[in-house]
Homo-oligomer: A and B are copies of this chain.
Amino acid sequence: MLVEGRHFFADTNPYRLGHKVCAVNLSDIAAMGATPRFMTLAMGIPSADSVWLEAFSQGFLDLASKYDVELIGGDTTRSACRTFSVTIMGEIPYGTALCRHHAQIGDDIWVSGQLGLAALGLQGLLNNITIPKTEHLHLQEALEAPMPRVALGLQLRSYAHACMDISDGLLGDLPHILKASQVGAQIEWEQLPTSPLLHQFIYQGSPHEKQIALQAMLGGGDDYELLFTAHPSQATKIVETSTQCHVPVTRIGYITEEQILKIVDNNGLDLNLTGLAYQGFNHFS
C-alpha cells in the first residue's frame, strides 16, 4: 500500500509513480526468487483526472508487461488521500522460495546495485542537502523509477540461502534476516557499494552532509536492491549470474554465530554505525 505524502509526493510524475507502484511489488516477488504472474491494483483517488490516470496506468502497465504480468482485477474509489494497493502473485516450484530464515553461519552477505541513491535523492527533493545539478536526474530516477531485480532473484534461487529486498535501508532490513535466522553479521564498511557522490559527502562533506549521506546509505529506504546470503563456495557463480543479469552484486560481509550486527573498518574495528538502524524508516514514526 502506497500513500501520498508518505510514500510519494503529490506532484510525482504520474508515469513514474505508476512504474514505482508496480516495481516495488515486483521487487517482493524478485526477493523470493519467483516468477511474477498476476497483479491486482486498487486505487483511492480524489478525482477522476483522466490525463493523470492515463499516464499512471501507462507507467504501471509498461513495467507489468515487461515482465509478462497480467493485471487481473482491482478497484477504484474516491479518497482524499491518494492511495494504491497492489497484490502480486508469483509462481515458484514448491519449497524453493527464497526466504529470510535460512542464512547460515559463515555465509557471505551480498547486495545488488548501490546503496542510498534513492534516499539521497529524497533528501535532495526535501532540500535537506544540496545535490550537484549533474546528479539530480540520476538520483531522482533511483527514487522514482527503481528496477525490480526479477532476473537476478530467479537465478539466486539456485545459490542463495536467505534473501530479501531492501526497502527500509540496509540497517533496517538486514536485522530481519539475522533475527529470522538467529545469527549475526559482520559488515565491511569499505565494501559497501554506493555512488561516488555519496562517498564524497561522507568523506569530504560538512558534518551535516556526512550525516545525511551515511543515513541514506545505511538506513535510507526505497533502494529495492536484493540483500542475500550464500555459501562462500558460490561466489564465482554469483558473480557470473550478476554479469548475465546485468546487475552488479557486491559481497559486503559475512554471517556470524554471535547474534549482533557490526560494521567494521579494514582492521576489523567496530565503527559503531549500527545505531543508524534505529533511524531507519519506521512505519509509525
State the A residues within 8 Å of B (CB). 1-3, 5-7, 40, 42-44, 47-48, 73, 75-81, 83, 85, 87, 283-284
Contact = CB atoms under 8 A, between A and B. Distances in A.
Contacts of A42: 1, 85, 87
Contacts of A75: 1, 85
27 contacts: A1-B42, A1-B75, A1-B76, A1-B83, A1-B85, A2-B77, A3-B77, A3-B79, A6-B78, A7-B77, A42-B87, A44-B81, A44-B83, A47-B284, A48-B284, A73-B87, A75-B85, A76-B283, A77-B283, A78-B283, A79-B83, A80-B80, A80-B81, A81-B81, A83-B83, A83-B85, A87-B87
Q: How many copies of the chain does the oligomer comprise? A: 2
A273 to B, nearest CB: 27
| Dominant secondary structure at the A interface | strand
B3 A44 contact: yes
Contact of A77 (B1, B43, B76, B79): B1
Nearest to A282: B78
A85 B78 CA distance: 13
B78 A81 contact: no
Contacts of A43: 1
A79 B48 contact: no
Contact of A81 (B48, B79, B283): B79
A48 B81 CA distance: 18
A70 to B, nearest CB: 14
A211 B252 CA distance: 70
Nearest to A79: B3
Given A81-B79, A284-B47, A40 B1 contact: no
Contacts of A76: 1, 283
A79 B284 contact: no
A40 B77 CA distance: 18
B3 A40 contact: no
Contacts of A2: 77
A217 to B, nearest CB: 24
Contacts of A47: 284
A40 B6 contact: no
Nearest to A43: B1
A44 B42 CA distance: 13
Contacts of A80: 5, 80-81
